Structure 1
Amino acid sequence: MSASAKIVLRKKPNTKGLYPLAIRITKNRRSTYKLIGHYIDLEDWDSKNNEIKKSHPNSESLNNLITLKLSEARKGLIALQTNNKDASANQIKKEIYKPTSNLTFFDFVDEHLEALEVEGKMNRLSTDSAWVSYIEKYCKVRHLTFQEIDERFLKKFKIYLKGNCSLTETTAMNVMVFIRLLFNRAIKDKVVSKELYCFGPGKFKIKFPETVKVGLSEKELKVIESLDNLSDVERHSLNVWLFSFYFAGMRVSDVLKTRWSQIYDGRLHYRMGKNSKLLSLKIPLKIYIILEEYVCNKNYDDDFIFPELKKANLDDAKDLYNKIKTANKKFNKNLKSIALKAGINKKVTMHIARHSFGNIARDTIHPLMLQKLYRHSDLKTTINYQANFIHTEADDALESVINF
């Protein structure tokens, strides 16, 4: 009996409740699976046509990737049949996906960047491409084996990043995290032995320095909200910033992608661009006041609320990314002048909307509720983030000692 390869959605969700896509290899009614590394909601899977529904934001890119992975598996099956190899489903899987020990670090780099482009993750592609450029400059030639990446290599490379490239400790650590990511993939794919792993206790340690997160105070927020001497472009930038703040620091990309059709039953329903989570938030009264300024520009029910993406090519991830990046730069420039008019000395950017929400929330809201509002997957992330804004206990302790 000949073997077959088919794309399926495995019914074993991960901790986020998403289901893995896999190639199923079957022979003699026995099957084995090879995960392709992507997870989706059960409702986004078309089991009849074995494809991702258009309801998923990256359906086209992921369906293209599925076609590619199926093609690779079927080519492998044909090659085995040509060579008259008779094997079980599990043996076929090992033969098709057998380790390729001659793969280099840059082979994994190319595969990683290509996947990001296919998936339309342009922001991550831009960031990771920057990390790659530093590695390329250090190596001088585009060849680096995983065996060469040891503790000595990483220590010398870190010195190069901070010295020759003048990078901060945080940025240098981000480059190291990128290297670690691909090293872990190489181990998982059995391209390199676990014994060569050079990260962790007793080896090269990735440690980020503490960062200062500064948000606006309630008093400063009230001043900004009441400003009336703003130009049209400043007013629009402030509206976008406040829209983000009122929804607990919603990311600028998600703000600009918000459509009128997502507002119903007194709630905003949207899918986060960062992790595809579905969210539903009650619309505060202050949001309705902002919406009133834009309803006259509504061309159809599914139109964008804000104008920045109305002329974007939604089928072109690069165009979408560039327009969001340009808009964010414009907003930050206008927010700088708004802060001056408000007499605020703190740096005000779109990202500061998130810090401002955290600063005002402090310890008045339960961490579990903040986790939901921040859309964090892990409660520990919320607790660590909120710790930047909670100083009451330390302040009281200080006062109790010196107030005599």
Structure 2
Amino acid sequence: MATAKIITWSRKDKNGNYPIGIKVSQNGIPAYLFEGNALASRELWDAPKQQVKKAHPQHMRLTNFLSKKLAEINDKILEFETGKKRYTAEDVVNAIKPKPVQVAPLPPKLPLFKEVADNYLQEQKSLGNYDVCKTDTSKLKRFYEFAGEQITFPQITVDFLRRYTIFLRTGRNKNKEGHVPLSERTVTNHLIVIRTMYNRAKTAGLIDNETYPFGGKNKIVIKFGKTEKIGLTESEISQLKQAKFSAQQSHLHHSRNIWLICYMFAGMRITDALLLKWSDFKNGRFYYVMSKNGEPGSLPIPPAVSAILEEYKEDQPAHYLVFPYLKKLTNLDNRYLVRQRVNSVTRIIGKHMKEIMEQLAINKNASPHKARHSFAQRAEEKEIHPKVLQRLYRHESLLTTMGYQSNFSTNKADAAIEAIVGF
């Protein structure tokens, strides 16, 4: 049977006092229960009487406390003995020690949508994706106008997104005068940004699939509607080529030139046109790697292109670029600053092309990207084989090329209408 008695420790604690507590022994193996009480001197303890001497200012309180604790331990020993189970002195002490208060853990913090979005934007900026950073920042700003910045992912339910869609469709396009509502494609692009953040949160393990509001039955399905793609006709492109500009309109002349370069190089994107280098022209051909997908290729140099290039030849052009639009940049290594400047120049060229179209009395949009549409439209009219166009566009899939060209395929439909109603 275990035994218990009150003792004082023979060594001082860190405060210079002697701890006082209870020693429990079972089969010669001890265990101790100390609960923070101590004596300034061992002389204050009466070992035979198992009590604190009267010289201690709180001798009665300490003696009563220790006697009560000793009685609890003896009761616990008797309980163990009555149960006829094997036990140790440590078991007795642990049974008497006060149990720590169990504090309920705080519920996990729900991830804020904005935290994930901010990380995403920072990542895009570090990658140099200026266009993505700019356009998605604008979309997220509109989202926070509706939802607030403290919204969490579980709050973005199907019903919430339906209400947000109505908010977008009845909202004003801030880039246009008057109350012009957002287009369906613009609304879709706003939803895509939210889905992107949701997918990133899922991948990071911040949320599960149960609250995912996109796709499937009774959820938000994102559909990409076809946008109207109209290029310039052969006649309109001829007018553009032949247009003459005064010395005061040199800015229009240069914008027209780069637009024609984009058109005649198989609908080259404006970013690639602005980054054209003289070293890209070798052995009578033009070699470049498409910035969008990294696909290399080469094209013949039409005489009209050669004539335009002659205007820009210099001994040491800035960064060896054909066009001077990026010459103010210190270097071309900072992708973010390059994209920022390209974005600004693209807007300027777009304004210039709008002015040119007004002068030519052509009621069409001739933004830099419309050069690509114009090439595709002419290719469709000339019935160029899709495999040839796939190589020119540098599409990985022929289906991509055929889908793109279908936007400009109207001949058969026109012939069908004529056959049916033309009598």
Task: Tell me the equivalent position of 1:122.
Answer: 130
Cα distance in 2, alignment partners of residues 375 and 351 from structure 1:
16
Mean Cα deviation higher: 228-237 or 252-261: 228-237
Which of 305, 325, 338 is the aligned partner of 1:308?
325
> Which one-letter code corresponds to 1:220 in the other structure?
E
Structure 1 residue 208 displacement after superposition: 3.5
- Which of 317, 325, 332 is matched with 2:350 structurally? 332
Deviation of 1:194 (Å)? 2.2
Q: CA RMSD in A?
A: 2.2
Which position in structure 2 is the counterpart of 1:398? 417
Larger Rg: 2
* Equivalent AA in structure 1 for residue 163 of structure 2: K
Q: 2:239 matched to 1:223?
A: yes
Q: CA deviation at 1:293?
A: 0.8
SS in 1 for 2:287: strand
SS in structure 2 of the partner of residue 362 of structure 1: helix
Report what 1:16 is aligned to: none
**C-alpha distance in 2, partners of 1:160/1:173?**
13
Tell whether the 8 Å contact from 1:256 to 1:306 is kept in structure 2 after alignment: yes
1:253 aligns with 2:271: yes
Match of 1:269 among 274, 287, 290: 287
The one-letter code of the counterpart of 1:217 is: T
**What one-letter code is carried by the residue in structure 2 that aligns with 1:145?**
T
**Matches of 2:358 and 2:118 in 1, distance apart?**
45
* 1:162 and 2:169 aligned: yes
When residues 276 and 115 of structure 1 are mapped into structure 2, their CA distance, relative to the original with a 3 A threshold, is farther
Deviation at 1:292, TM superposition (A): 0.7
Which position in structure 1 is the counterpart of 2:224?
208
Paired with 2:385 and 2:231, the residues of 1 have a C-alpha distance of 19
**TM-score of the superposition, structure 1-length normalised?**
0.70
Q: Aligned in 2, Cα 1:368/1:235: closer, same or farther, shift over 3 Å?
A: same
Q: Corresponding residue for 1:103?
A: 111
Structure 2: state its 5+ residue gaps.
1-107, 173-180
2:253 pairs, out of 235, 238, 246, with 235
Give the TM-score normalised by structure 2: 0.67
CA distance in 2, matches of 1:139, 1:125: 20
Partner amino acid for 1:144?
I
1:298 Cα deviation from its structure 2 partner: 4.0
Cα distance in 2 for partners of 1:120, 1:136 equals 24
Secondary structure of 1:182's counterpart equals helix
Percentage of identical aligned residues:
35
Q: Distance in 2 between matches of 1:217 and 1:164?
A: 35
Tell me the number of residue pairs that the alignment of Structure 1 and Structure 2 aligns: 303
- Corresponding residue for residue 289 of structure 1: 307
Structure 2 CA distance for aligned equivalents of residues 190 and 279 of structure 1: 41
2:150 aligned partner: 143
**2:128–2:335 Cα contact (<8 Å) kept:** yes
User: Which residue identity does 1:388 align to in structure 2?
Assistant: N
1:370 corresponding residue in structure 2: 389
**Distance in 2 separating the partners of 1:214 and 1:110:** 37
Task: Measure the CA separation in 2 of the matches of 1:372 and 1:195.
Answer: 43
> Which residue identity does 1:168 align to in structure 2?
S
